[in-house]
Amino acid sequence: MARTERDLYAFKVVLIGDGGTGKTTYINRVRQGGFIKDYVATVGAVVHEVRFTISEQHDILFYVWDTAGQEMHSILNETYYLDADGAIIMFDITSRITFTHVPFWLQKLRNVSSLNNNEVPVVVCGNKVDIKDRKVKAKQIMEGLSRDILHYTDISAKSNYNFEVPFLVLARRLTGINNLVFLANISLAPAEVSMSEEALRESMNVMQDVYRARTIELPEDEL
């Protein structure tokens, strides 16, 4: 963790997963109105700034490293993962193959973080839950996820459903403030679609089943 001259909490978060899972769509919506900090050509990454207000005096700033589509060409090198404070691994709940690749992305992260004896907290996200044709169910998630991840959540980048959960879970772990809440995210884009009641109910049931199976305490705002 670093503290900037503006007294912000600041963390590096890597966003990984198969191409087409909605990673860039997600981060662009969360940081809408913000700006891209940098493009690291030698690594094949775009670095976004995502900021949340956590008190009247303090913000939390995530430098989110996005693969910018380069995961399709397998050119990401160790620098992408190096010194990461946290990670978000994304898959598409309508595509089983993207879920089966989650352990691959987790292992790539662990291989680098172990060099620094750094246990990077990981949140796994199942995206596109606004789409009715869900292929990855609770049973597959419970059986397929490693026990050493920090948290699992469904999200929908296009509807803003649970958009803040990955960052909230990481923020609580990285700051050590278990009751931390986000007071504002000034850069969120308006939702493009609405979640149907059926999709919302299915998502909530899936997450509750996964939470019970993993015996991970829920953040207060997720129920």
Pair of tokens at residue 1: 């963790």
- Tens digit of pLDDT for each residue in 36-60? 455 455 456 788 889 898 887 889 9
In whole angstroms, how far apart are CA 77 and each of 10, 74, 102? 23, 8, 18
Q: How many whole angstroms separate alpha carbon 99 and alpha carbon 170? A: 21
Task: Give 57: exposed, middle or buried? Use CB within 10 Å, 0-12, 13-18, 19+.
Answer: exposed
pLDDT attached to residue 153:
97
Please tell me what DSSP assigns to residue 114.
G
Q: Rounded CA gap, 62 and 49, in Å?
A: 6
pLDDT at 192: 86
What pLDDT score does 148 carry? 82
Q: Find out whether 105 and 64 touch, Cβ atoms under 8 Å.
A: no
Which tokens belong to 205?
A: 């049931």
- What is the rounded CA–CA span in Å between residue 19 and residue 211? 27
Residue type, 163: F
Give the pLDDT score at 173.
97
pTM: 0.86
Q: Which of 7, 40, 13, 38 is nearest to 26 (CA)?
A: 13
CA distance 54 to 178: 12
d(CA 89, CA 86): 10
Which residue matches tokens 């796994």? 124
Residue 74 or 144, more confident: 144
Taken in order of first residue, the domains within the chain and their CATH numbers are 2-218 (3.40.50.300)
Backbone angles phi, psi at 209, to 5 degrees: -65, -45
Instruction: Report the chain's mean pLDDT, rounded to a whole number.
Output: 84
Own/partner contacts of 140-147, CB < 8 Å, gap of 24 or more, are 140/96, 140/99, 141/99, 141/206, 141/210, 142/209, 142/210, 142/213, 142/214, 144/99, 144/100, 144/102, 144/103, 145/102, 145/210, 145/214, 146/103, 146/106, 147/214
Give 182-218 pLDDT, tens digit per residue: 987 766 778 888 999 999 999 999 999 998 887 644 4
Phi and psi (nearest 5°) for 34?
Answer: -90, -145
Reported confidence tier of residue 171, pLDDT bands at 50, 70, 90:
very high
- What's the pLDDT score for residue 80? 82
The pLDDT value given to residue 32: 63
Of residues 98 and 187, which shows the higher confidence score? 98
Residue 105 has pLDDT above 80, yes or no: yes
d(CA 204, CA 206): 5
